[in-house]
Chains A and B, each alone.
Chain A
Amino acid sequence: MAKRIDVSDLDIYYGNFKAVEGVNLSIEPRSITALIGPSGCGKSTFLRALNRMHEVIPGARVEGKVVIEGQDLYGADVDPVDVRRQIGMVFQRPNPFPTMSIYDNVAAGIRLNNKKMKKADLDDLVERSLRGANLWNEVKDRLDRPGSGLSGGQQQRLCIARAIAVEPDVLLMDEPCSALDPISTLAIEDLMAELKERFTIVIVTHNMQQAARVSEQTGFFNLNGVGQPGRLIEFNPTEKIFSNPEMKATEDYISGRFG
């Protein structure tokens, strides 16, 4: 549970296009790490490289190393499917499975992988995950209703419940609040504060206040120009980034001078 991630010299490509170049950083367990930066700077791409979702896109590939507690994710005999079981992900837009009930959505990680589990254990797991996502009280009376009938914020928490139900070590969140209203956003942020007790969380966000509110560490991505690869400009404790950044570009971005 809650493992440490070390990234060294990571380059990410779409076909021949180099999208991200030379990333080195270490992500602490049981903490929230935020990635910020202007659009198209490669932060989402970087996030997707952490659980090998990147390579779902045809032609996409990665060079470099991502190590989780001593295990190289891109090692020769590593199955990307196993990696993704270890590292969960929550997406920008809530995407519950429309054919499944709330219950089935939470149980999806178990059911879809054909793991056998006793009904009582599964019930227990679903309740635990929904409680973990602060959703249990709102849906406990309608577990058999379709998940797509919930509000946007509830759907996103359902997706978080679905992700934590498979008990991953790390939770990646790709702008999880960008499609939500402020109240739902607050609910998700509170939830993240609770979840970091159990998981290593990496979140990509466009919202600098959000990064400042929830994270311990912040990484700032930027790119020199269109067609250039994105780079990690600065990686420091959040407090330092927002009060006294090392790099000029970071300061410009944070003070709103561009981006």
Chain B
Amino acid sequence: MSTRTPPAPAAPTSAPPATSTAASRPKLPRWAPWAVFAAAAVAAFLVGRLTSPNLALLVIYTVVLGTVVLYVVSRVVEGPRKATDRLVTSVVYSAFGIAMVPLLSLVYEVTRRGAERLDGEFLNSSLVGITGEGGGAYHAIMGTLIITALTTLISVPIGLLTAIYLVEYGNGRLKKAITFLVDVMTGIPSIVAGLFAYALFALFLGPGIRLGIAGAVALSVLMIPVVVRSAEEVLKLVPNELREAAYALGVPRWRTIVKVVLPTAVAGLGAGITLAIARVIGETAPLLITVGITNATNLDPFDSRMATLPVYAYYQLTQPGVPPEFAIDRAWTAALILIILVMGLNVVARLISRFFAPKNSR
């Protein structure tokens, strides 16, 4: 049997006890859907060779043709109810296949184009004096790391303490208000967070200000609610029995939280914070308007513009200069590094939650 069928459904024969009414009706064999889609693929291929040999179109033809044929055959043999079931199954499988297309193509495209300039020079040099070939993103990588570190430094204490307040102390109206506003804060558009930080710093330092710390403040507005949410979930999972055990030993409440509750939750907290960092490390819009861009290396977030990786990628792509191809290559490599950072942080989060989880036998 041909297996060219791409997101083709695995035989949906497991739909269980449809037997009560359908028992009298004949059923299609298990291999029927496979056979139908294989045939559809062959047909699509033959037709496609006559018109346009576009792989995407072939796949679409196959799926549509296969779905229709399967529906008709099933309707004739098994009746309308079973046919509808098969139709929906095909649709659901195709929907999932469609959703995988952007993910795979995106990763593939960025890797292919970005790998070109992923070299030592890119990691070790800035853009000072570069007009064409060469150059790198050292300054932007360092800028991203510094600003992200600052953001983490601001957000984690505030977020963690707020979560502790909500879980351990909070009651009544203030708790409700904070919970609600954290939800609201989660929905603040990143560009608005950028405008806020700009407006805040412009008020004190005059208009047109661009500072690394302003970027960190903007990102913190985005990161704090994420930290609060995840920390809150994790702290709620710590069993009350442990708190009571500590109280019964005559441990004051704050020590119980610091020495018992937080260590018990450390895996979840670590994972949550790492994911929150991953969320903000790729943010472009707020940095675009608060930190700006520069070609030279500036490692001082309290002094003028800094370069950051996402903004660097943005400008290299939109204002490449002449000839454009070198800057565009650099933009893709910056995007690749961003993806690597984000995926890396995701993996780290998984590892943290696996290895730091309390070894519990129960």
Interface 9-mer from B25-33, B193-201, B257-265: B257-265
Pair B361/A85 contact, Cβ less than 8 Å:
no
B-chain residues with CB within 8 Å of residue A99 when the two chains form the complex? 260, 263-264, 266, 358
B-chain residues with CB within 8 Å of residue A114 when the two chains form the complex? 255
Pair B250/A163 contact, Cβ less than 8 Å:
no
- Fill in one digit per residue for A145-168: 1 if any B CB lies within 8 Å of its CB, else 0: 010110000000001001100100
B-chain residues with CB within 8 Å of residue A113 when the two chains form the complex? 249-251, 255
- Fill in one digit per residue for A213-232: 1 if any B CB lies within 8 Å of its CB, else 0: 00000000000000000000
B-chain residues with CB within 8 Å of residue A111 when the two chains form the complex? 259
Select which of B247, B256, B260, B263 is within 8 A of A53 by beta carbon.
B247
B-chain residues with CB within 8 Å of residue A146 when the two chains form the complex? 358-359, 361
- Fill in one digit per residue for A44-60: 1 if any B CB lies within 8 Å of its CB, else 0: 00000001010010100
CB distance from B341 to the nearest CB of A (A): 30
B-chain residues with CB within 8 Å of residue A91 when the two chains form the complex? 241, 244-245, 248
Q: How far is the CA of A77 from the CA of B239 in the complex (A)?
A: 31
Tell me whether B242 is interfacial, beta carbon within 8 Å. yes
B-chain residues with CB within 8 Å of residue A82 when the two chains form the complex? 250
- Fill in one digit per residue for A63-93: 1 if any B CB lies within 8 Å of its CB, else 0: 0000000000000000001111110110101
Interface size on B, residues (CB 8 A): 26
Q: How far is the CA of A129 from the CA of B13 in the complex (A)?
A: 63
Tell me whether B51 is interfacial, beta carbon within 8 Å. no
In this complex, what residue of A is CB-closest to B260? A97
Pair A95/B361 contact, Cβ less than 8 Å:
no
| A148-B359, A148-B361 known; A112+B255 contact, CB < 8 A | yes
> Of residues A53, A58, A98, which shows the largest number of chain B Cβ atoms within 10 Å of its Cβ?
A98
Q: How far is the CA of A112 from the CA of B242 in the complex (A)?
A: 13
Tell me whether A109 is interfacial, beta carbon within 8 Å. yes
Tell me whether B19 is interfacial, beta carbon within 8 Å. no
Pair B251/A95 contact, Cβ less than 8 Å:
no
Tell me whether B362 is interfacial, beta carbon within 8 Å. yes
Pair A98/B256 contact, Cβ less than 8 Å:
no
In this complex, what residue of B is CB-closest to A172? B248
Pair A89/B248 contact, Cβ less than 8 Å:
yes
> Of residues A58, A112, A149, A166, which shows the largest number of chain B Cβ atoms within 10 Å of its Cβ?
A112
A-chain residues with CB within 8 Å of residue B250 when the two chains form the complex? 81-86, 109, 113, 166
Tell me whether B83 is interfacial, beta carbon within 8 Å. no
Which residues of B in the span 247-288 have a Cβ within 8 Å of any Cβ on A?
A: 247-252, 255-256, 259-260, 263-264, 266
Tell me whether A108 is interfacial, beta carbon within 8 Å. yes
Q: How far is the CA of A99 from the CA of B268 in the complex (A)?
A: 13
A-chain residues with CB within 8 Å of residue B247 when the two chains form the complex? 53, 56, 84
Tell me whether B20 is interfacial, beta carbon within 8 Å. no
Which residues of A in the span 6-61 have a Cβ within 8 Å of any Cβ on B?
A: 51, 53, 56, 58
B-chain residues with CB within 8 Å of residue A163 when the two chains form the complex? 248-249
Tell me whether B171 is interfacial, beta carbon within 8 Å. yes
Pair A81/B252 contact, Cβ less than 8 Å:
yes
Q: How far is the CA of A203 from the CA of B241 in the complex (A)?
A: 18
Which residues of A in the span 107-127 have a Cβ within 8 Å of any Cβ on B?
A: 108-109, 111-114
B-chain residues with CB within 8 Å of residue A85 when the two chains form the complex? 249-250
In this complex, what residue of B is CB-closest to A109? B249
Tell me whether B339 is interfacial, beta carbon within 8 Å. no
Pair B241/A97 contact, Cβ less than 8 Å:
no
CB distance from A96 to the nearest CB of B (A): 8
Q: How far is the CA of A158 from the CA of B232 in the complex (A)?
A: 30
Tell me whether B352 is interfacial, beta carbon within 8 Å. no
CB distance from A208 to the nearest CB of B (A): 26
> Of residues B248, B266, B360, B362, which shows the largest number of chain A Cβ atoms within 10 Å of its Cβ?
B248
CB distance from A160 to the nearest CB of B (A): 12
> Of residues A84, A96, A111, which shows the largest number of chain B Cβ atoms within 10 Å of its Cβ?
A84
Pair B255/A98 contact, Cβ less than 8 Å:
no
- Fill in one digit per residue for B169-187: 1 if any A CB lies within 8 Å of its CB, else 0: 0010000000000000000
B-chain residues with CB within 8 Å of residue A53 when the two chains form the complex? 244, 247-248
Select which of B243, B252, B255, B361 is within 8 A of A149 by beta carbon.
B361
Q: Which 10 A-B pairs have the closest CB atoms?
A: A85-B250, A89-B248, A98-B358, A95-B241, A84-B250, A109-B249, A99-B263, A112-B251, A95-B245, A81-B252
Apart from the given pairs A58-B171, A113-B250, 20 other A-B contacts in the complex at a CB distance below 8 Å: A56-B243, A81-B250, A83-B250, A85-B249, A86-B250, A91-B244, A91-B245, A95-B245, A97-B242, A97-B264, A98-B359, A99-B264, A108-B249, A111-B259, A112-B256, A146-B358, A148-B360, A163-B248, A163-B249, A166-B249
Can you give 12 contacting A-B residue pairs, CB < 8 Å? Answer: A53-B247, A85-B249, A91-B241, A97-B246, A97-B264, A98-B264, A112-B255, A112-B259, A146-B359, A149-B359, A163-B248, A163-B249
Taking Cβ atoms with an 8 Å cutoff, the residues of A that contact B are: 51, 53, 56, 58, 81-86, 88-89, 91, 93, 95-99, 108-109, 111-114, 146, 148-149, 159, 162-163, 166
